[in-house]
Amino acid sequence: MRIVIVGAGMVGAQLARRLIHEKHDVSLIEPNEERARHASNRLDCLVIHNGGNSLAALEEAGIAKADALVCVTDSDEVNMITCGLAASRYPGLLKIARVRNDDYVKLNTAQFLENGAVLGIDYFVHPDVEAARSVLNAVEHGAMGDILVFADTPYELGSVEINGGSAFDGLAMKDYRNLVKEDSLVTLVERRNETLLPRGSTVLAAGDRVHILAKEQDLDHIFKLAGRSERALRKIGIVGGSRVGALIAEELLGKGEKHKKRTVPGKLFSFFKSIGPWSALSRSRRRVIIIERDYNLCRDLAARYPEALVLNEDISDESFVTEERIDDLDLIITATEDQELNMIAAIYLKSRGVRRAIAMVTGSGYVTIARQLGVDVVIPMKSVVVDSILSHLMGEGITAIHRLGSGDINVFEIELDPGAPAVEKGITELNLSGGGLVMLVNRGVEPQTGGLMVRSSFIPRGDYIFKSGDRIFLIAKTGSEGELEKFFGTFQGNTP
């Protein structure tokens, strides 16, 4: 697949690196000379020092033969105009624009349903909404670890760190089913600086972070076996009242329904379930505190969310933490634009007695550090955006992707077309050189006794046969994309 990326900032460079690693043909356009030079020295692709809204630069990057254009500069307007410029000459090109302005997404939603996409843009990716939803998914599950929720299935992929002395500490995987009676699967083990796809001989240990697939109602009980106790999150603090913090508060307070209808088109997100739903009962019992040091922003937040307690304070002020009893929070969410402050504040407040902590960081490099320091859930904003873009880039075979662990493991969503090579083959025939695991199958709607039609989702066993129309979720090491293409189908466009 040939992709032209406009913008070589952190998102553009990370996206390019992953696509190059997966053997795609990538061209980068970057107007900033220093960024362009940095990208050229570190990435094995064509890097052009020019503006993306230049048709000459796009053509030099190979737009005429490209399958997709991704615009991720710091300017919404440049991203949209560049897509529109490319659409005027190459209407069949897949075009993705990162935007932060809600009004642009609203315009695209209204126009898309009736008159087609604005400026020919196929997908808008909204970083703040993507990040907020990741936070809210974690809150909904008690902030006990990262949660990946699969649409149209009752299953979730949750991660939790094993506590010493728990039932999981010293458990051999061959004995897992003797302990855990629920329908579940250990899909991944993170151990210090390595990531393991578990086998029967794998022995779990304190400090390991395990990723477990199970139904929503069973996951909390399984987490308890790992030594994590559940506690209702009634008093929640949000540090930072800017875009992401406000979105989180809006949903926690039950005011997000209007916003969701206004700004969240079906094409905006990847395959995870949408935010919520939040019950009226849980909202009525929840107390939300917003901590923001900008006075004018605090006034605006207090007017928008009268049910919340809005404090115009600096979270790094120790006396403030004591006076306002911030240390008795059930959960703190640090969502400022300063990732170091987010990490430090989350760790400090946990040391003062806050039960759980969610910290937002810029990139995936801080995830392992923050977890080892005691942060329960870490949301890498740039990686969330990259995952969303990659999901849109996939074609009829591999339709969505999400990166786990330290970055060397992917979760793929794969739709099996009738002509896919895997159809009518057994699961044992999938032999990836780097290892892999089909962890979940969604077979769609099937007739049941009494004429009822229900959706069939299940964890496949050794006798599973791939069927046309199956939507499968598979975990595999990065670099397995070529083998997956041969077995399940092809990426959109042609792989060089």
Give average pLDDT by consecutive 10-residue segment, the chain, 496 residues. Answer: 93 91 89 93 94 89 94 93 91 90 65 57 87 84 72 82 92 94 91 84 92 87 83 86 91 64 34 38 69 94 93 86 79 93 93 91 81 86 84 61 70 84 89 82 65 69 89 83 75 37
Residue 174's pLDDT is 94
Tally of CB atoms within 10 A around 307: 14
Residue 272's pLDDT is 35
Instruction: Give the global pTM.
Output: 0.70
Determine the 3-state secondary structure of 111 from DSSP.
Answer: helix
Tokens matching residue 254:
């039950």
Cβ neighbours for 27, distance < 8 A, ≥ 6 positions apart: 2, 3, 4, 5, 45, 46, 47, 48, 61, 62, 66
Report the half-sphere exposure of 313 (CA within 13 A, side-chain side).
20
Residue 285's pLDDT is 64
Chain centroid to CA 209: how far? 18
What b/e sequence results for 317-339 when a residue is b if at least 16 CB atoms lie within 10 Å of its CB, and e otherwise? Answer: eeeebeebebbebbbbbbbbeeb
Bridge partners, 377 (sequence order) = 358
Bridge partners, 237 (sequence order) = 289, 332
For tokens 């796009």, the residue is 58
Instruction: Kindly provide the residue ranges of all beta strands, DSSP E only, lying in 11-132, ordered along the sequence.
Output: 25-30, 46-49, 68-71, 94-98, 123-125
Cβ neighbours for 24, distance < 8 A, ≥ 6 positions apart: 1, 2, 3, 491, 495, 496
